[in-house]
Amino acid sequence: MRANLIAGEWVEGAATVADVNPSDLSDVVEEFAVADEAQVDAAIEAATAAAPGWAATSPAERFAVLERVGLELETRATELGEQLSREEGKPKGEGVGEVLRASQLFKFFAGEALRVPGEHLRSVRPGVDVDIVREPLGVVGVITPWNFPIAIPAWKIAPALAYGCTVVFKPAEMVPASAWSLVEICARAGLPDGVLNLVIGPGRVVGERMLNDPRVRGVSFTGSQATGARVAQALAARFAKAQLEMGGKNPLVVLDDADLEIAVDCAAQGAFFQTGQRCTASSRLIASAGIHDRFVEELVERMRSLRVGHALADDTDVGPVVSADQLEQDLDYLTVGRGEGAELVHGGARLERETEGYFLEPALFVGTSNEMRVNREEIFGPIATVIRATDPDEALVLANDTEFGLSAGVCTTSLAHAARFRDGLQAGIVTVNLPTAGVDFHVPFGGTKASSSGSREQGRYAVEFFTTVKTAYVRP
């Protein structure tokens, strides 16, 4: 049993939660302590008590701690990557890659701790100076989803610590092992007690407590739209800051002049890798009339070659769906799509493997219209749709006809089309001849419309959320 970290102490809970391997339901990764309300309060209390001390540390001290975390993550990438794949189900290579990304995030924000921005101006009043400084927000809540068990915690916790905030961290209960390992590494890297607290438990207990406590000055959340709305409401009611990353229904437009191989590669990776369980997944493939049939044919060919299996097997391209609930949701959408008249040209079958797991064959619907539910709602599984567009103009209209705006891509060899779609796509992230998913660690991440709310995550833009601005007028 692995415990929660509160005020520098590893504390057990009244209950535990089992971390089960979705590739092999007989394999329990570990049991984890579940925090109750009093423990969440204690974690908030500890983060509050630790806040002034941590805010007062020098940039060099914060740099040193974050860099140590980054280095240990890098050294242990294989071990932690396999643990991640075991608990979440993404193939080993992607698990290891994700741990390396977490390492890079910590190293990046180690550097950012050294260059917290500020400004010095002369006042409009003679003899007065103006200093504009950024101060830590204070205690922040970090609520993370199950699909990136270490990278998303890293990209919230690393900037929080770099900019001098203290943290109460609630990871997804389905994948606590990666979160626990990250916190354990941080604790050993020299963080003072209470600066980072881990409270594993359900949203209705742990999350709610954090949302309603006035000492928590902001919450950075990635997860579903419904929960995001709840977070936003609770925080708005007490004027605390919210940073929300939610769903996507990301279009990938394939124009007649696209390089077919690149387009198929982008679609297969973007739609099906990591079992389609990414908010940046290319779930709506919009192909213009002149390339549509060839694109579908080649994509189906590629799908046939994808090996679905145990996340830790060497030859697996696509791992299992994360849970029984998620699998049920995916299967429901397959039924919904068929009912709406979409044609399933490949996949959608539950697959038997040596171990009992949630294996689902990647599925492709064609002949879909943008009005169908399978084109409006985020499925979050290995299911993509194809919409036929008459020309680039219609493709752009279809791409933008969605409530979401996280990521959007276009495949084209025309510079003019590339420029037009880069400017015209309504999304926080736009890609040209690249998958809509799989982003860099040193530049901003986030969306428009109903995908995101609050300031951007990652890169130097992360400073906006984790700090407040103080304007000091000084007459020497």
Looking at beta carbons only, is 148 or 272 nearer to ligand UN1?
148
Among 106, 109, 146, 148, the residue binding ligand UN1 under the rule CB under 6 A is 148
* CA pair distance 231, 390, nearest whole angstrom: 41
Q: Per rule CB under 6 A, is residue 279 in the interface with ligand UN1?
A: yes
Looking at beta carbons only, is 175 or 366 nearer to ligand UN1?
175
Give min distance, CB of 243 to ligand UN1, in A.
Answer: 12
Tokens read off for 195? 């600066």
Give min distance, CB of 294 to ligand UN1, in A.
Answer: 27
What does the per-residue mask of binding to ligand UN1 show for 189-228, with x meaning CB under 6 A?
Answer: ---------------------------------x------
Give min distance, CB of 2 to ligand UN1, in A.
Answer: 24
Residue 169, CA distances (Å) to 13, 150, 383 in order: 16, 12, 31
Q: Per rule CB under 6 A, is residue 110 in the interface with ligand UN1?
A: no
CA angle 433, 107, 105 (to 5 degrees): 45
Tokens read off for 208? 């709610």
Stretch that binds ligand UN1, among 212-220, 277-285, 301-309, 329-337 (CB under 6 A): 277-285
Contacts of 377 (CB under 8 A, 6+ apart): 249, 333
Query: Which phi-psi region, left, alpha or beta, contains residue 388 (left: φ > 0; alpha: ψ -120 to 50)?
Result: beta
Stretch that binds ligand UN1, among 110-118, 144-152, 296-304, 314-322 (CB under 6 A): 144-152
Residue 41, CA distances (Å) to 3, 37, 198, 211, 214 in order: 16, 6, 12, 11, 11
Looking at beta carbons only, is 441 or 466 nearer to ligand UN1?
441
Q: Which entry of 279, 298, 378, 411 is annotated as an active-site residue?
A: 279
Q: Which entry of 72, 87, 88, 245 is annotated as an active-site residue?
A: 245
Give min distance, CB of 244 to ligand UN1, in A.
Answer: 11
Looking at beta carbons only, is 279 or 410 nearer to ligand UN1?
279
What does the per-residue mask of binding to ligand UN1 show for 230-259, with x meaning CB under 6 A?
Answer: ---------------x--------------
**186 catalytically annotated:** no
Burial class (CB in 10 A: 0-12, 13-18, 19+), 236: exposed
- The position carrying tokens 């423990």 is 39
**112 catalytically annotated:** no
SS3 at position 133: strand
* CA pair distance 355, 344, nearest whole angstrom: 27
Q: Per rule CB under 6 A, is residue 147 in the interface with ligand UN1?
A: yes
Classify residue 99 by its DSSP letter: H
Looking at beta carbons only, is 276 or 309 nearer to ligand UN1?
276
Nearest 5°: phi and psi at 168?
-115, 115
Give min distance, CB of 146 to ligand UN1, in A.
Answer: 9
Nearest 5°: phi and psi at 471?
-105, 115
Q: Would you name the residues annotated as active-site residues?
A: 245, 279
> Would you tell me which residues interact with ligand UN1 (CB under 6 A)?
145, 147-148, 152, 222, 245, 278-280, 437-439
